[in-house]
Amino acid sequence: MAGSGRGDGNHHRCQNGLPRGPYFLKTTGPLLELALDLPAPGSRRRQQALLQQLRAAILSGRLQPGLRLPASRALAAQAGLARQTVVVAYDSLLAEGYLVARPGAGTFVADGAGQGPGPRRALPAERMPVKPAPPRRAAGEATPPPLDFRLGVPDIRAFPHTPWRRLAARTLRELERAPVERGPAAGEPALREAIAQHVSFARAVAARGEQVIVSAGAQQAFHLLARTLVAAGRRVVAVEDPGYPPVREAFAAAGARVLAVPVDGDGLVVERLSGDVRVICVTPSHQFPYGVPMSAARRRALLAFARRHRALVIEDDYDGEFRFDGRALDALKTLDRDGDTVFYVGTFSKSLAPALRLGYVIAPPAWVEPLAAAREAADSHGPVLEQRILAAFIAEGHLARHVRRMQREYAARRRALLTGLAPLAAQLRPLPALAGLHLAAAAAPGLDLAALTGRALAEGIGLHPLGAYALRPDAAPALGFGYGAIDAAGITEALRRLARLL
């Protein structure tokens, strides 16, 4: 995510006169220069690059325990960053335990934070540092292998351009006749109502349009929830382990204490939740990344725990619209009879395309106004044009038709995947899944997934070990097989080559 990483010490300047990486961080006390090779100004990856490079410098021992870091304002000025970018990075490192804040003295590298070379000591769940998400491929980076099983992406080649183009033209004509400066912070009313109707039809989730908060994708939804809930005093948050890194990153950045709770064949292990947990984040329809559904008994137990301890549940239903092997289990939001316990998070990144960057939260009524205020504070409002197009797209039935068509296509790819994995079951055993765009396969004891991944890449196959999503070192080793970016013929050929490697 950083730039070239050459670290030659030359400063460059962009058009606004601010220095352009690499930058040098000079700490107070003994002179120390740390190269920060950041993306160009305007890149959305600057905050993550700063966080990763500071964390790496601490882990490597480049920034020693007890070292005082510059004030956020000073570092922002030196590196040409927005101060909020530095504040968020510092807050994340504080939450992860890499930094400590001493009132009146400043921010320091925590004792024991730098482990130097070699493996890090495993920490108890309540002190477990938040592990960043595996790096994503960005524009301009190396192309993926021809047969790539990467997770979390739909088949963007199948995007329904014809109806979308027609609705875009119509919406532009409407805005030409009646221009608007900005839309409501919570989202366009027509889109909020359309989303409520869509989840009622697709997932049996009863909601009113006014309960929907439209977000810039699911990741912004998690940040809005984290900011709102932690500010309300809900500072102990349970997440699945392994689980979706942006969820734990969002809550850690908001100052929460993030607890890693293990997952088994029935989903999150409710018995391992501590009584002080006040927010529980789960993916019950298609656990990320293992893919297993949360059993009906476990769902009831989770909701009973939440009511008993007055906790709130965040249900991430990221690709639950694509269901296989019969009727899927009810959403937790459907089972939340009083409607005051579960936040339901959805996204159009999986059903349509990641580039659309539209998601939503269906919130209990008491939390709608605080979430709308958080959205307004975050970025004022969403894109009016895209929201109005999507509202019409849903209302006219195009989304439902597209999901039905893609479900048939993904079902064929899933069958090809299971067929190809069957002869490999002694070494890669598919885990049960009822929905979604990927399957996981548990690795046999002794199978070196890192070595296998490297050999597969040389054969043009992209494999993805799921250990990258786990905090605990004892997480069951497995591979994820996504079938959104690879068709059935590609799946068959990739598994034929993989069988030869094994």
Which tens digit of pLDDT belongs to each residue from 265-281? 999 999 999 999 999 99
CATH number, domain of 443, equals 3.90.1150.10
DSSP annotation of 7 reads -
Range of the domain at 389: 161-397
Count of CB atoms situated within 10 Å of the CB of 169: 11
Same domain, 28 and 166: no
- Token output for 458: 């040389």
CB-count exposure of residue 187 (10 Å: 0-12, 13-18, 19+):
buried
Same domain, 222 and 351: yes
Same domain, 437 and 425: yes
Same domain, 225 and 81: no
At residue 380, the pLDDT reads 82
Q: Quick check: bond before 163 cis, omega within 30?
A: no
Same domain, 202 and 337: yes
Domains identified in the chain, total number: 3
Rounded Cα–Cα distance for residues 281 and 268 (Å)? 9
- Tell me whether residue 102 is in a domain: yes
**Alpha carbon separation from 431 to 43, 133, 267, 326, 418 (Å, rounded):** 38, 22, 12, 17, 10
Same domain, 85 and 203: no
Same domain, 321 and 392: yes
At residue 362, the pLDDT reads 97
Cα radius of gyration rounded to whole Å, the chain: 23
- Classified as helix, coil or strand, 143 is coil
- Tell me whether residue 130 is in a domain: no
At residue 93, the pLDDT reads 78
- Tell me whether residue 139 is in a domain: no
Provide the angle, in degrees to the nearest 10, between the axes of the packed helices 488-501 and 449-458: 120
Q: Which of 47, 111, 115, 105 is nearest to 75 (CA)?
A: 47
CATH number, domain of 389, equals 3.40.640.10
- Tell me whether residue 351 is in a domain: yes
- Token output for 391: 């509202």
Same domain, 219 and 302: yes
User: According to DSSP H, which parts of 178-212 are helical?
Assistant: 189-203
Same domain, 424 and 333: no
Rounded Cα–Cα distance for residues 21 and 38 (Å)? 5
Q: Quick check: bond before 284 cis, omega within 30?
A: no
Rounded Cα–Cα distance for residues 192 and 353 (Å)? 19
| pLDDT per residue of the chain (502 residues) written in tens, 0 to 9 | 333 333 333 334 343 333 344 444 544 433 335 677 788 787 667 877 888 788 878 877 778 888 888 888 888 887 888 887 888 788 767 756 778 777 677 888 887 655 433 333 333 344 444 555 565 554 444 578 999 999 989 999 999 999 999 999 999 999 999 999 889 999 999 999 999 999 998 888 989 999 999 999 999 999 999 999 999 999 999 999 999 999 999 999 999 999 999 999 999 999 999 999 999 999 999 999 999 999 999 999 999 999 999 999 999 999 988 998 766 678 999 999 888 999 999 999 999 999 999 999 999 999 999 999 999 998 888 899 999 999 999 999 999 999 999 999 999 999 999 999 999 999 999 999 999 999 999 999 999 999 999 999 999 999 999 998 998 877 889 999 999 999 999 999 999 999 999 9
CB-count exposure of residue 275 (10 Å: 0-12, 13-18, 19+):
exposed
- Tell me whether residue 82 is in a domain: yes
Count of CB atoms situated within 10 Å of the CB of 262: 17
Task: Convert the pLDDT of each residue in 15-50 to its tens digit.
Answer: 333 334 444 454 443 333 567 778 878 766 787 788
CATH number, domain of 87, equals 1.10.10.10
Side-chain half-sphere of 148: how many Cα atoms within 13 Å? 13
Same domain, 300 and 417: no
- Tell me whether residue 137 is in a domain: no
- Tell me whether residue 132 is in a domain: no
State if pTM tops 0.85: no
Same domain, 441 and 384: no
- Classified as helix, coil or strand, 63 is coil
At residue 132, the pLDDT reads 54
- Tell me whether residue 109 is in a domain: yes
Count of CB atoms situated within 10 Å of the CB of 97: 16
- Token output for 429: 């055993």
| 149 within 8 A of 481, measured Cβ to Cβ | yes
At residue 29, the pLDDT reads 39
Same domain, 324 and 359: yes
